[in-house]
């Protein structure tokens, strides 16, 4: 387990005073300090980690967020922002000596502007809520993480969430234009707007995917798109995962970017089929779901080409959806893969590395070896188009040392991802979970530069500390320059 920063006893001793001050800012039930009331906030989607916060605050206005943060800044109190609490990496894990700042009451769609194809929403609106708000006019919001019924758009910004369609339509960072954000000292800034790109530094690029340590987002301007006229999915089964991987590479190599392209391995196929009866073939080692969207003529044309490629790669099953109902059924299995795996084991641990796709056979083979070594089963679902792997490690938390073994197994998988040229996390975030693995991918210099960015926003380190970075440095220490005056060796850089 990853260790969180030691509790600040001085802050805890002032708890009653802090709670009273917060009540003065957010009235009524917006401040929760009873154990039973705070219990629902003790963890997010990474349920292996639990911690009651010092106090929960649920503000309703930007002004309240600003005053809460200003108070915390002046009094040295840590703050953890939280959306819907669906993070799979512990991004919203509370701190025992910190305020848990929930944005759930920021749940309104403020403006829909079809002429400019944008919507302005509050951060507590669910991802699906954004799409639903514009569905009547045939529009939608493109990023669609599997948790879209529950996860909030504010959380999506913090985590730069993806989804099965981000191969073609991009992740959150590619689909938002502006935010209103409150800094730790209470200052309210607006970044971007309804226009494209930035006039100065691209702060939106930093905020999106930062995991909550730079500021608290209180309003978001998102791009909305017209829904494609048609979408069809095709199920393709292969005797080996190598063939499936080859097929994915050849589809993209042929210049086709499908709306979605997902892969499941045998254990995942079996679990999903048993759970939702999507009609998946059970006698294959790898299953691809390839979705093509656009005008009907284009979809039909591309479906033919994908089918030809699949057959030339040795597919043994090939079935295209012939109705919207059937297409949704194909997806139902994939979208329910996590809970489906949850049915065949008491607990599962979901990983999120990304690899260069060509390394897939190697990574799967090594994973099988690790599975034997640790004595734990693993099922794989895979955003095949962009190389984002979700191995689900099956374990039983009630058995001695199984969680620890699962964590070690997971860490080995992520090290493997980095070793083959990939990264620790494709869309779930570093959070608490992968914090201590950051040095596998980044040098101390790399990490120090990232922390200096954090310092530019929050020099006291009060916003969501203990996440993302394995070693917390004081900002003053990071800011120091180490110049060895006079004696720097640069004898032979060509000069003109």
Partner 1 sequence: MTDILKPRDEQDVAEAVARALAEEKTLEIVGQGSKRAIGRAAQTDMTLDLSKLSGIEIYEPEELILSARAGTPIAEIEKALAKNEQELAFEPMDCAPLLGGKPGRGTLGGMIAVNLSGPRRIKAGAMRDFALGVRAVSGRGEQFKAGGRVVKNVTGYDLPKFLAGSWGTLAVITQATIKVVPRGEAVETVLVLGLDDTRAVEAMSVAMGSSCEVSGAVHLPVDVARQLSIIPIASAGKSVTALRLEGIPVSIAYRKDKLQKLLAPFGELGKLGPRDSRNFWRAMRDAAPFAGETQNPVWRVSTSPSEAPRVAAAIRASAKAEIFFDWAGGLLWVRMPGKAAEEWAVRSALAGRGHALLMRADPAVRASAQVFEPLEPGMAAISKRLKESFDPKGILNPGRMYAGI
Rg of the chain, C-alpha, whole Å:
24
Separation CA 208–CA 146 (nearest Å): 19
Q: Are 86 and 431 in contact (CB under 8 A)?
A: no
Q: Give the torsion through C-alpha atoms of 93, 98, 104, 105, to 10 deg.
A: 180
Give the binding range for partner 1 (CB under 8 A) out of 120-128, 222-230, 320-328, 367-375.
Answer: 222-230
Give the binding range for partner 1 (CB under 8 A) out of 55-63, 69-77, 149-157, 484-492.
Answer: 484-492
Q: Of 397 and 453, which CB lies nearer to partner 1 in the complex structure?
A: 453
- Other Cβ atoms less than 10 A from the Cβ of 28: the count is 8
Q: Of 43 and 175, which CB lies nearer to partner 1 in the complex structure?
A: 175
Tokens of 424: 């620790």
| 476 near partner 1 (CB under 8 A) | no
Cα within 13 Å of Cα(46), Cβ side:
23
Separation CA 183–CA 163 (nearest Å): 29
User: Residues, the chain, total?
Assistant: 496
- Other Cβ atoms less than 10 A from the Cβ of 362: the count is 15
Per-position b or e across 413-451, b if 16+ CB within 10 A of its CB: bbebbbeeebbbbbbbbbbbbbbbbbebbbeeeebeebb
Q: Could you say which residues in the range 332-371 bind partner 1, by CB under 8 A?
A: 354-358
Closest approach of partner 1 to the CB of residue 206, in Å = 5
Give the binding range for partner 1 (CB under 8 A) out of 146-154, 297-305, 329-337, 343-351.
Answer: 297-305
| 190 near partner 1 (CB under 8 A) | yes
Selected from 37, 76, 295, 346, the binder of partner 1 by CB under 8 A is 295
Residue 356 phi, psi dihedral angles, 5° rounding: -60, 130
Residue 194 phi, psi dihedral angles, 5° rounding: -90, -10
Separation CA 270–CA 345 (nearest Å): 13
| 216 near partner 1 (CB under 8 A) | no
348: β partners: 394
| 28 near partner 1 (CB under 8 A) | no
Place of tokens 């917006």: 30
Q: Could you say which residues in the range 451-470 bind partner 1, by CB under 8 A?
A: 452-457, 468
Element (H, E) at 439: helix 438-441
| 3 near partner 1 (CB under 8 A) | no
Q: Could you say which residues in the range 156-175 bind partner 1, by CB under 8 A?
A: 159-160, 162, 166-167, 170-171, 173-174
Q: Of 97 and 386, which CB lies nearer to partner 1 in the complex structure?
A: 386
Estimate to the nearest angstrom the gap between the alpha carbon of 353 and the chain centroid.
11
Helices 241-253 and 360-374 meet at what angle, rounded to 10?
A: 150
Q: Could you say which residues in the range 130-159 bind partner 1, by CB under 8 A?
A: 138-139, 159
Q: Could you say which residues in the range 301-330 bind partner 1, by CB under 8 A?
A: 301-302
Closest approach of partner 1 to the CB of residue 346, in Å = 29
Place of tokens 């301007």: 221
Cα within 13 Å of Cα(428), Cβ side:
29
Give the binding range for partner 1 (CB under 8 A) out of 16-24, 124-132, 337-345, 487-495.
Answer: 487-495
Give the binding range for partner 1 (CB under 8 A) out of 95-103, 109-117, 146-154, 404-412.
Answer: 109-117
Write the interaction track for partner 1 spanning residues 378-407; mark x where CB under 8 A is met and - where it is not.
-----x--xxx-------------------
Selected from 65, 118, 176, 220, the binder of partner 1 by CB under 8 A is 118
| 263 near partner 1 (CB under 8 A) | no
Q: Are 324 and 299 in contact (CB under 8 A)?
A: no
484 burial level (CB within 10 Å; 0-12, 13-18, 19+): exposed
Strand-pair category, 188-192 with 260-265: unpaired
Selected from 27, 421, 471, 474, the binder of partner 1 by CB under 8 A is 421
| 484 near partner 1 (CB under 8 A) | yes
Selected from 191, 271, 290, 337, the binder of partner 1 by CB under 8 A is 191
74 burial level (CB within 10 Å; 0-12, 13-18, 19+): exposed
Selected from 62, 107, 198, 377, the binder of partner 1 by CB under 8 A is 198
Tokens of 144: 């669609």
| 193 near partner 1 (CB under 8 A) | yes
Q: Of 58 and 166, which CB lies nearer to partner 1 in the complex structure?
A: 166
Give the binding range for partner 1 (CB under 8 A) out of 234-242, 311-319, 324-332, 481-489.
Answer: 481-489
Give the binding range for partner 1 (CB under 8 A) out of 11-19, 112-120, 343-351, 399-407.
Answer: 112-120
Q: Of 55 and 182, which CB lies nearer to partner 1 in the complex structure?
A: 182
Q: Could you say which residues in the range 228-257 bind partner 1, by CB under 8 A?
A: 228-229, 249-250, 252-253, 255-257
Closest approach of partner 1 to the CB of residue 146, in Å = 14
Separation CA 248–CA 91 (nearest Å): 32
| 428 near partner 1 (CB under 8 A) | yes
Separation CA 378–CA 362 (nearest Å): 16
């Amino acid at each position: 387990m990853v260790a969180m920063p030691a509790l600040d006893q001085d802050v805890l001793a002032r708890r009653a005073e802090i709670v009273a001050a917060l009540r003065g800012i957010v009235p009524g039930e917006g401040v929760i300090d009873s154990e039973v009331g705070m219990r629902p906030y003790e963890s997010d989607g990474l349920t292996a980690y639990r911690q009651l916060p010092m106090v929960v605050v649920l503000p309703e206005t930007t002004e309240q967020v600003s005053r809460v943060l200003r108070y915390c800044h002046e009094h040295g109190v840590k703050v953890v922002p939280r959306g819907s609490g669906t993070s799979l990496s512990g991004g919203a894990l509370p701190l025992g000596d910190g305020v848990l700042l929930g944005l759930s009451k920021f749940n309104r769609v403020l403006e829909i502007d079809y002429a400019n194809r944008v919507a302005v929403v509050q951060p507590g609106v669910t991802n699906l809520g954004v799409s639903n708000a514009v569905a009547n006019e045939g529009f939608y919001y493109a990023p669609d993480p599997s948790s879209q019924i529950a996860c909030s758009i504010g959380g999506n910004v913090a985590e730069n969430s993806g989804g099965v369609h981000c191969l073609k339509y991009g992740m959150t960072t590619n689909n938002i234009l502006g935010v209103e954000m409150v800094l730790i000292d209470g200052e309210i800034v607006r970044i971007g707007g309804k226009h494209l790109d930035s006039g100065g530094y691209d702060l939106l690029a930093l905020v999106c995917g930062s995991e909550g340590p730079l500021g608290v987002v209180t309003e978001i301007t998102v791009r909305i798109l017209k829904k494609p006229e048609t979408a069809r999915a095709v199920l393709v089964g292969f005797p080996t995962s190598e063939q499936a991987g080859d097929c994915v590479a050849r589809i993209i190599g042929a210049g086709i970017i499908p709306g979605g392209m997902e892969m499941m391995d045998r254990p995942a196929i079996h679990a999903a089929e048993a759970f939702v009866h999507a009609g998946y073939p059970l006698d294959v080692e790898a299953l691809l779901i390839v979705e093509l969207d656009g005008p009907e003529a284009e979809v039909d044309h591309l479906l033919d080409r994908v089918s030809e490629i699949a057959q030339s790669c040795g597919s043994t099953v090939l079935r295209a959806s012939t109705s919207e109902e059937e297409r949704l059924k194909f997806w139902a299995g994939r979208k329910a893969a996590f809970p489906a795996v949850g049915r065949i084991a008491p607990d599962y641990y979901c990983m999120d590395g990304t690899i260069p796709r060509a390394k897939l056979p190697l990574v799967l083979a090594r994973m099988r070896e690790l599975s034997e070594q640790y004595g734990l089963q693993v099922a794989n679902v895979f955003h095949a188009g962009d190389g984002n792997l979700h191995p689900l490690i099956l374990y039983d938390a009630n058995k001695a040392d199984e969680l620890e073994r699962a964590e070690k197994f997971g860490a080995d998988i992520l090290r493997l991802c980095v070793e083959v040229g990939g990264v620790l996390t494709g869309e779930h975030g570093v959070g608490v979970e992968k914090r201590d693995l950051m040095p596998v991918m980044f040098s101390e210099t790399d990490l120090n530069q990232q922390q200096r960015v954090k310092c530019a926003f929050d020099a006291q380190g009060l916003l969501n500390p203990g996440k993302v970075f394995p070693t917390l440095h004081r900002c003053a220490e990071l800011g120091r320059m180490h110049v060895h005056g006079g004696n720097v060796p640069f004898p032979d850089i060509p000069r003109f």
